[in-house]
Amino acid sequence: MFGRRIKLFTLFGFEVRIDLSWVIIAVLVVWSLATYIFPSDYKNLPVQTYWLMGVVGAIGLFLSIIFHEMFHSLVARRFGIPMKGITLFVFGGVSEMGEEPTSAKVEFLMAIVGPLSSIAIALACYGIHMQGLRSGWPESVDGVVYYLAYINALLAAFNLLPAFPLDGGRALRAILWGLRKNLRWATRVSSSVGFGFGVLFILIGVFQFLRGNVMGGIWLFLIGMFLQNAARVSYQQLVIRKALEGEPVRRFMKTDPVAVSPSISIRQLVEDYVYKYHFQMFPIAEGSEKLLGCITTKELKEIPREEWGQKTVGEVATKCSAENTIEPQADATQALSLMARTGSGRLIVVEGNRLVGVITLKDMLKFLSLKLELER
């Protein structure tokens, strides 16, 4: 879903990150507020005031989405679900869960708390807006507060649509899950509903575009495309997770990994290992099992080529970390989540400081393909 992400800050132990696609929506929000919405509602204010209102309104929207997603994350943590953080992207924000909710009750509570938090912001801002009217606040201040009340109410209403993976769709899945005690069936049904809403948004977007509402039509079309894709991918992810659940890493790992001696030169590593095996990461081992560290092609690129013949692998190697290692008894779903988070298709399997194997995404997908084919 995401491209390059930048960490902004940590809040209640959760990393808040921004996807570069958010820049697009931020610019569009500021521009539309400063050039159309605020000038239409509040006449004869200085141009600079409209742009300042636009910037403050966009920041308020930014904080509102973080507030919304933060409540999802807090409820998830309350029930022991690991959270990777919160990421803002072009269509809003998402709380990144490490695993599926443990029960229909947990799913429902996690889903419903987001829209409720947005409704709370909307009511608070509307109350402040009414107080501002009675107190004679400047139009510029009162206008931004009213906008935040309106946009949070709209955010709550949109998220309550029963279109998975929106909050309303997750609440629908929780209800279906509770009724049939079948998460896969509940996900398939709610994903189908989400896909249907995606089609509806696309059709409405095309209709609005043809009627002359170009910007509104384009946004509705893009939201529809997003809902379609997100609904389909969410169901596929669940199927994959359920197929691999309970399978240990040991079942998929290769027990004869290609390991590199710390005494060979960088040039020898490149010629005899990188160009031969085409891996982007190699474990460094002494003897046949003792793991000393790891080396990646990314690290090799930072070493001047003229030094390849003089420097040894041991001199430039780094310690292996929790980002590129896993234990053989770990669940295969943990390996899959780690690969997805790091963008790597290869993990080193270790027991203590002992190298016992390597697991690759390719080998896991072969197993997954066969299992799904047999169970279809």
| Alpha carbon separation from 101 to 17, 38, 63, 109, 317 (Å, rounded) | 22, 42, 26, 10, 39
Check whether 2 has a pLDDT greater than 50: no
**pLDDT (0 to 100) of residue 376:** 59
d(CA 336, CA 368): 12
Taking phi over 0 as left and psi of -120 to 50 as alpha, with beta for the rest, 181 belongs to left
CA separation for the pair 308, 300 (Å, rounded): 9
pLDDT at 56: 95
Rounded mean pLDDT, 317-337: 87
Q: How far is CA 81 from the centre of its chain?
A: 15
- Other Cβ atoms less than 10 A from the Cβ of 164: the count is 29
What pLDDT score does 371 carry? 76
Give the 3-state secondary structure of residue 291.
strand
Q: Which amino acid is at 300?
A: L
Closest CA to 147 of 70, 21, 42: 42
Distance CA 227, CA 164 (A): 8
Query: Strands, E, within 246-343: which ranges?
Result: 281-286, 290-296, 325-326
> Which domains does the chain possess?
5-244 (no CATH), 249-375 (3.10.580.10)
pLDDT tops 90 at residue 239: no
Tracing tokens 């709209």 back to the chain, one arrives at 154
Q: State whether residue 311 is helix, strand or coil.
A: coil
Question: Taking the model in full, what pTM does it have?
Answer: 0.73
What does the pLDDT look like over 173-224, one tens digit per residue? 999 999 999 888 999 999 999 999 999 999 999 999 898 888 778 878 988 9
The side-by-side arrangement of strands in the sheet containing 5-11 is 5-11, 14-19, 83-89, 92-97
Residue 288 has pLDDT above 60, yes or no: no
> DSSP code of 33?
I
Please report the pLDDT score of residue 1 as a whole number: 46
Share above pLDDT 70 across residues of the chain, in percent, rounded to a whole number? 95
Predicted confidence at residue 234, as pLDDT, reads 82
Lowest mean pLDDT among 17-21, 118-122, 151-155: 17-21
Q: Is the pLDDT of residue 256 over 70?
A: yes
pLDDT band, residue 36 (cuts 50/70/90): confident
Distance (Å, whole) CA 38 – CA 140: 9
With a cut of 80, say whether residue 8 has pLDDT above it: no
Nearest to 11 by CA among 90, 92, 50, 68: 68
Contact 146, 204 (CB under 8 A): no
CA 117 to CA 156: how far, in whole Å? 8
> Residue 296 — left, alpha, or beta (φ > 0 → left; ψ -120 to 50 → alpha)?
beta
pLDDT at 222: 85
Q: What is the pLDDT of residue 148?
A: 95
- State mean pLDDT over 272-290: 84
Closest CA to 117 of 142, 82, 83, 86: 86
**Would you say 119 and 156 are in contact if contact means Cβ atoms under 8 Å apart?**
yes
Q: What is the mean pLDDT of the chain?
A: 87
> Does the pLDDT at position 346 exceed 80?
yes
Q: Which residue has the higher pLDDT, 95 or 112?
A: 112
Read off the pLDDT band of 236 (50, 70, 90). confident
Is the per-residue pLDDT at 90 higher than 50? Answer: yes
- Least confident interval from 28-32, 74-78, 91-95, 353-357: 91-95
Tokens of 228: 């379609």
Most trustworthy range by pLDDT among 50-54, 346-350, 366-370: 50-54
What pLDDT does residue 287 have? Answer: 65
